[in-house]
Each structure stands twice: as structure tokens, then as C-alpha cells.
Amino acid sequence: MWARAVWLGLRASAGGRRGFPSKAAHQGSRRVTAELIEHLERLALVDFGSQEAVARLEKAIAFADRLRAVDTDGVEPMESVLEDRCLYLRSDNVVEGNCAEELLQNSHRVVEEYFVAPPVCLFGEIYERN
Amino acid sequence: MLGRTLREVSAALKQGQVSPTELCQRCLSLIKKTKFLNAYITVSEEVALKQAEESEKRYKKGLSLGDLDGIPVAVKDNFSTAGIETTCASNMLKGYVPPYNATVVQKLLDQGALLMGKTNLDEFAMGSGSTDGIFGPVKNPWSYSKQYREKRKQKSHGENEDSDWLITGGSSGGSAAAVSAFTCFAALGSDTGGSTRNPAAHCGVVGLKPSYGLVSRHGLIPLVNSMDVPGILTRCVDDAAIVLGILAGHDPKDSTTIQDPVKPFTLPSLTDVSKLCIGIPKEYLTPELSSEVRSLWSKAANLFESEGAKVIEVSLPHTSYSIVCYHVLCTSEVASNMARFDGLEYGHRCDTDVSTEAMYAATRREGFNDVVRERILSGNFFLLKENYENYFVKAQKVRRLIARDFVNVFNSGVDVLLTPTTLSEAVPHTEFIREDNRTRSAQDDIFTQAVNMAGLPAVSVPMALSSQRLPIGLQFIGRAFCDQQLLTVAKWFEKRVQFPVIQLQELMDDCSSIFENEKLASVSLK
């Protein structure tokens, strides 16, 4: 079963390269596993509920897969349109600040000059989704 | 008075024909009367009146700060405004009051502008309709124009006139509607994929996206750091140039602003276009383009040619991939930018306090709508280690190809590109919501987002009314940092086409005092 899932995954990426998004989406459901969704929801800290997340993500991936058709051999990635210029750096002098009180006012939970966060769970918590 | 240009009002203020307080009160009154448009999230009445008072003192002493002193303006609600709630139309920031002003807001205030309020948008500027914010959708003022209503009466009788109201486009729909309905003289929008130009075209106003790096993003709540730009919405090109002159320039607080010196400029009135070369990108002629927009685009090209300009067809070969590339880069940067909303330092925080992860997850579920959450999820997928090269880096490479396409075209002698801004005129809300946000954005951003990827300046200028008597605008795209040249060409075009003024008098009968004595340029009653 596992080997078959891998084979279908390979078919899906081949289909993508030929630019058939609907095909990839159909086989993409093997690619977008429940584990992947859970992993993503954990990383992103947003949730949808499995079925809906899978559907939305599949569409997004299928759409993005169209990029495979572009030949980018020898092309460098572009991070910024201003790449030919030097980023401006300010001199390392303190010119403003001292506004801790103002900033703390925007938080819901504050103790003295600390923002209060709940404890980090150390033992790999399984948090429940709706 | 409200229908005048910035320069005219400024002159009137200097001569004492009208006072800043009067101007402020008229705009506030009009905002109240047009409340049904839902263009404003917050109306900063007290702040505006106080600013008006101060402006008046300056005028009395003959010490006006400049062209914007005493002029009512509005700001999109994703710009930080000190002491005034800034929500991004999201539950995540509802009730959030920034402790500082965005640089562009500060610049407007330093010039004496009156801040009328914060305008409505799609949540976190994600959308192309201004329909997906927590405060509800923005209605296009043209839905209520005499021009549109008379045309509709011819077709259908006795229908509920409000049920089929039109969208403004987005995501800066509130700003576009505010300017279109005369409640302010200029408004700030933001433009990441067309969010200023799209609603400008649908609302019949000028929407300028300056070159990336020209205007500071400090204080603009970021969506895509490498593409976001503050946008300017006004009723005429000259006004946009005035505002740009004030906003442009290096900001030490935004290291992505260029350090080249920038001065306010006056747009020359171009009369001779014979040295101008206009490029028409052939890939922008898509089957989805409405026949009316296509015909106006063609008419505009002919106009330039008949007046002596060189008009040539050009190619931007990677056009069909730009929306996909944008989708990947945008969701990836969004995934990163939205990570700051964790409920700890500002913004919404959920009630559970069991663990940090549970708290973050619940806060973000409660704070973000599903459009935002979907983009975050997708973005995180593209940024996974196993996907990074194939999606994110791939998209960055395609971005270079797209930017290069533009450079090649401009290097071949083209000064300015002429394209449609939108596929069609504004559609009714009921029709717009038949497709989801992502589909709509992908459709509606088609002519506008490549410009953001290349960082070029672009402006949408209203050209004419459609057969339904709704505005259609065309887009001009210029070379990087040649915003002045771009606006000069746009101004020439604006003068030639004489786009009609929106007629909203019927709706505001008791506002007649605002419009009487106006020698408005209401040319032909089409």
C-alpha cells in the first residue's frame, strides 16, 4: 500500500510537469496527507479541520504547480527589485524609545513590565481541534 | 467646493473663500450622509476638527504649510495612526490603537492635512472586492449615481434599487469610495497586487502605485514586504502628483526606501507626444477581457497614435505565469508576516491559557478570517524544506524573468506601457461573491500584479463610462523611478478623455449647498 502511494505521488508530479492541474489535484490527495495537514497546521498555527484544509491546500498546490512549465535554468532567484542597491543602515545611536508603558498598554495580559505568556508544553501536546 | 482639485481648494483656502473648518464640516456631513457606502471604519471627527482649527490659525497668519494644509484626507485602515484604532478590518486587530503614525501618515499630518478617518478594506488587504472585512463590504458610489440609475430604469422597473449594488473592487475599496463620493480630496491605499489601481478603476478615480522604494512602508501593516507600496487615490492626476511629491523620499525607518534625493514636482502640461513611445503588451489581450474594455483600450492607443506618438505592440512573454508566481510569493511572505499575530503583545488574545501553542492557535483561529488562514497555510506549505526549492525559489526565479520582461521592453525604447486595469466594469456584489476570494483575486489581479513583482510605477486613470454607465479605467506602467514621466503622460491622457463627473446630487438633496455655485466640469450628461 505504501509503495503504491509513492508511485501515485510520482505520477502526480509528472502530471504536474505536463501542466494538467486537475490530474495532479486528483492524485494530489495522496500527496496531501492528513499527516501533512496536521504538520502544517502545527507550523502555521492556523487550523481548518482536515477535510476543508486538504481541499483548499490541494487547489493552492495545483495552481502553484503551473510554475513547473517555466524554464528557469541558469536564472537566479530574485529577492528584491532593489537588489542592485545597498540597503540603508542607520548609525547605531539611540534616538528614540523609553515608551515601555505605552507599548504594554496594548497587551491583554501584563504583569509589571512583562508580557505574560502561558507555559510552553514540553511533552509534545496533542491539542484538540474543532 | 468639494468637487474641486487640490490646487483649487488650496488656493481658495489661501484666499479665504472657504475656511478649513468649513471644509472639514462639509466633508464630515457628507461622510454621515454616505454612511451606507460603508467606506469608513473610523471617522476621526474630533481629531479632524481640531486639525482644522489649527490650520485655520495658520492661514490667518498667512503661514500655510503647503498645498495640503487644511485639506481633508482619508487613510486605509492598514496604516498605523497614533491614537486612532487601526484594525485592518480584522478581529485580530479590533480595538488595537497604535502608539505611532506610519511615516506616510505623519508626512500628511506635517503638511497640515485633516485626517477624516480610516477607510474600509478586505481583511488584511487580502482580496479584490473590499467585501471580506469584518465591518462588511464597501459599496461603489456609482451604484447610486444618476448615470447608472437612469440606465437601469430603462431596463428594469420597480426593482429594489439597492439590492444589486456594485462592489468597489479592492482591497482599498473604502479609500476609493471615499474619494469618489467627495468625502475627502485624497486617500491612502496600499498596493501589493493591484489593490489601489483596481478599486480606482471601478470607482472612477485615479489610483497611483509609486515605484517600490520611493515611498516609505514604515507603519503600513505588511502583507508582502518585497511588493507592498502605499498607494494614492485622488480625483485627478495632478492631485496624485502633489501627494506623491509629499510622500516620496528616503525614510531612515524603512531601509527599503532608496536614498536618492527626491523633490516635490509640478507636472508639466504635455502638448507634444510625438517623442513618446507607447507599448501595448500583446499578452494582456486575454479572452476574459470584456469587449468594452478591449475597445476602450484600442481607442486609447489610437488616440496616442493620432496625436503623433509612436504606438507599438510589445511582448511580456512570462505574463501568463505571473499570477501563479504571485500566488506562491504572496502566500509565503504572508505566512511569515502573519506570524507576529500571537496575541501576546497586541491584538486579539483568546481566553484559554493552557499552553502557548493552544493559545496561539485559538487566538489566530478567532482573529483571522478563512481567507487569511488559507493563505498562511498555503504559504507554509511552499516554505517546507521539501518544497522550498520547487515552489518558493522557483517562484523567485520566475519573478526575475517577469521583471526582466519589463526591462527588455523599456530598453527597446518604450517609455510607457498602456494596458487595461480590470477585466470589466464593477460587478454587482451578488455576482462577485459567487466565486471565492482566491479565485476572484487570481482573475482580477491579472493586469496589475506583474507590476508589483517588477516594482514599477503604475497608475489607473478613468477613461470613460461603459454601456451600463459605469467607470472603466486604463493603466499606464512606467520605468522604475520615472513616476514623474508616468504621471505626465497620464495627465495628458486624462485631459483628452474628459471622464465625466459622478452625479450624486439626487441622493443628497439636502447637501445641495455643497454643489451649488459649483462650476463642476460635468461635461456631457452621458
Q: How deeply is A47 buried, as exposed, middle or buried, from its count of CB atoms within 10 A (0-12, 13-18, 19+)?
A: buried
Residue of B397, B441, B456 to mutate, interface with A, max A Cβ within 10 Å: B397
Whether B69 contacts B55, CB under 8 Å = yes
Q: Which of B33, B44, B76, B491 is catalytic?
A: B76
**What is the distance between the alpha carbons of residues A53 and A48, in angstroms, rounded to a whole number?**
5
Query: Which residue among B90, B128, B143, B171 is the active-site one?
Result: B171
Residue A27 has pLDDT above 50, yes or no: no
| Residue A17 pLDDT greater than 70, yes or no | no
Best of A78, A82, A123, A128 to mutate (most B CBs within 10 Å, chain B): A78
End-to-end CA distance of chain A: 30
Distance from CA of A38 to the nearest CA of B (A): 11
**B-contacting residues in A 60-79 (Cβ below 8 Å):** 60-61, 63-64, 66-70, 72, 75-79
Burial of residue A2, with CB atoms counted within 10 A of its CB: 0-12 exposed, 13-18 middle, 19 or more buried: exposed
Secondary structure (DSSP) of B401-441: HHHHHHHHHHHTT--EEEEESSSSS--BHHHHTTS-HHHHH
Cβ of A127 within 8 Å of Cβ of B361? The answer is: yes
* Distance of residue B476 Cα from the nearest chain A Cα, in angstroms: 19
B286 touches chain A (CB under 8 A): no
Interface membership of B258 toward A (CB under 8 Å): yes
Cβ pair B224, B192 in contact under 8 A = yes
Q: Is B76 a known active-site residue?
A: yes
**Residue bearing cell 489581450:** B285
Of B327, B310, B322, which is closest to residue B381 (Cα–Cα)? B327
B364 at the A interface (CB within 8 A)?
yes
B245/B473 Cα distance (integer angstroms) = 23
pLDDT in tens, chain B (526 residues): 888 999 899 999 999 999 999 999 999 999 999 999 999 999 999 999 999 999 999 999 999 999 999 999 999 999 999 999 999 999 999 999 999 999 999 999 999 999 999 999 999 999 999 999 999 999 999 999 999 999 888 766 555 557 789 999 999 999 999 999 999 999 999 999 999 999 999 999 999 999 999 999 999 999 999 999 999 999 999 999 999 999 999 999 999 999 998 888 889 998 899 999 999 999 999 999 999 999 999 999 999 999 999 999 999 999 999 999 999 999 999 999 999 999 999 999 999 888 888 899 999 999 999 899 999 999 999 999 999 999 999 999 999 999 999 999 999 999 999 999 999 999 999 999 998 888 888 888 999 999 999 999 999 999 999 999 999 999 999 999 999 999 999 999 999 999 999 999 766 654 444 333 333 333 333 3
Query: B349 contacts in A (CB within 8 Å)?
Result: 107-109
A1: closest CA of chain B, how far (Å): 23
User: Residue A120 and residue B355: Cβ atoms within 8 Å?
Assistant: yes
Reported ipTM: 0.87
Distance from CA of B81 to the nearest CA of A (A): 14
- Interchain CB distance below 8 Å, B258 and A43: no
- What is the pTM assigned to this prediction? 0.90
Contacts of B467 (CB under 8 A, 6+ apart): B292
B497: Cα separation from own chain's centroid: 21
pLDDT tens column, A113-130: 999 999 987 655 555 444
Is B228 in a helix, a strand, or coil?
A: coil
Gyration radius from chain B CA atoms:
22
Cα(B182)–Cα(B203) distance, integer angstroms = 12
d(CA B211, CA A86): 17
